[in-house]
Amino acid sequence: MEYAVIMAGGTGKRLWPLSRESRPKQVLKLLDGQTLLRRCFDRLRPIFDTRNIIVLTNARYVGIIRDNLPELPADNVIAEPAVRDTAGAIGLAATILAATDPEASMAVVTADQVIEPAELLQQALKDALRFVQDTPEIMVTFGIQPTFPSTMLGYVRCGDSIRPQGCANEIYVVDAFVEKPDEKTARKYLDSGRYLWNSGMFVWKAKTILANLERFLPDATEPLARIRADWDGPNRQAALSEWFPKLPKTSIDYAVMEKAKGVHGIKLDCRWLDLGSFAALGEIITADKNGNTVVAGASELLGCRDNIIVTEDKGHMIAAIGLENVIIAHSPDATLVCRADQADRLKELLELVAKHGGDEFL
């Protein structure tokens, strides 16, 4: 059977004060009143039965995830008791699926991406699922056609391609995963035409990724086996709480994908954005004639240019005069005002908030 796993554990600190430790970015209603999580879920529904969609998230986000996706069975929201990066989360999901369906095929997607049009991803997922069903030893990743020489993203280098019978997309041999490059190297990647942005989305058999984890990340083997042994019994939560934190804290790319053989890729030539910052928000919301990106129920701007102004509070007006290249982000109990070119210092600011006893605002 075919399953989808949505990774929804990140907090998104670069969108503070909208995103918080108790309210992650994937449930912010910034996209025409919709959340990133809802959009991700709706992209998957034409392909997967709702009962076969699983959301992996931080334990403290379970309630808000269920509220955002009320049609999802409650048990399909899996709470991670500790932060263990993508290798641990994917290992947990594969372990759960393989325990009940040894031949399970699983698609792994993330909740914080904007992908348009959705139909391109849906067709690519269908092709990947067909491909791994026919060749179960293969693992498939998805690469994004780059539009500029990004230094903030990892890349996938593609080799020869094939078009399997019944597939609309070409499927490439992946020669290598490469880390975030400097600008000069990124330009070479873009000019070569052989490199794609690494999307962090995958399709494989649950048993295949587990076999690769056992080979390349052996320290994960016992914790996952212990969790599997108790998953269907009364000690499920106790086993998860004890053994999940013992999983190595590392990414699936570093743990497996950079080392494994037989990795293939599908190219997505689509509008794609990892919504991790206010600057990224400015790329998906249509700006006004003066370049101001505004997400607010009410606003008045006088002599303002190239600003990003955001609030989810539809009853709160934001008014500004003579501002240029400024970010204003309003929440009920905290407001951020900063120059756009200083937004990368947000982590420093939050450290000051914590240092001065403002934990309730984090």
Q: Same domain, yes or no, for 222 and 290?
A: no
Residue 263 shares a structural domain with residue 286? no
- Compute the half-sphere exposure of residue 234: CA atoms within 13 Å on the CB side of its CA: 0
User: In terms of domains, do 12 and 143 share one?
Assistant: yes
In this structure, are 266 and 289 located in the same domain? no
Clarify whether residues 24 and 49 are in a common domain.
Answer: yes
**How many CA atoms does the CB half-sphere of 343 hold within 13 Å?**
22
248, 304: one domain: no
Co-location of 203 and 299 in the same domain = no
Looking at residue 279, what is its pLDDT?
A: 81
Let me know: does 17 contact 336? Beta carbons within 8 Å. yes
Cβ(109)–Cβ(5) under 8 Å? yes
Residue where one domain finishes, among candidates 250, 274, 298: 274
> Where a domain ends, among 239, 274, 309?
274
Which mean pLDDT values do the consecutive 10-residue runs of the chain (362 residues) have? 92 82 81 86 96 94 92 94 91 95 96 91 96 95 91 89 88 91 90 91 97 96 95 92 94 93 93 80 83 91 94 88 95 92 89 89 86
Q: Looking at residue 126, which CATH number applies to its domain?
A: 3.90.550.10
Asked if residue 260 and residue 286 are part of one domain, the reply reads no
pLDDT at res. 33: 75
Q: Helices (DSSP H) in 244-337: which residue ranges?
A: 252, 278-284
Q: Domain count of the chain?
A: 2
Same-domain pairing of 133 and 249: yes
- Same-domain check for residues 266 and 236: yes
- Same-domain pairing of 161 and 100: yes
Check whether residue 187 and residue 309 sit in a common domain.
Answer: no
Where is the domain boundary, 274, 292, 317?
A: 274
Judged by DSSP in three states, 235 sits in: coil
pLDDT for 5 equals: 97
Range of the domain at 250: 2-274
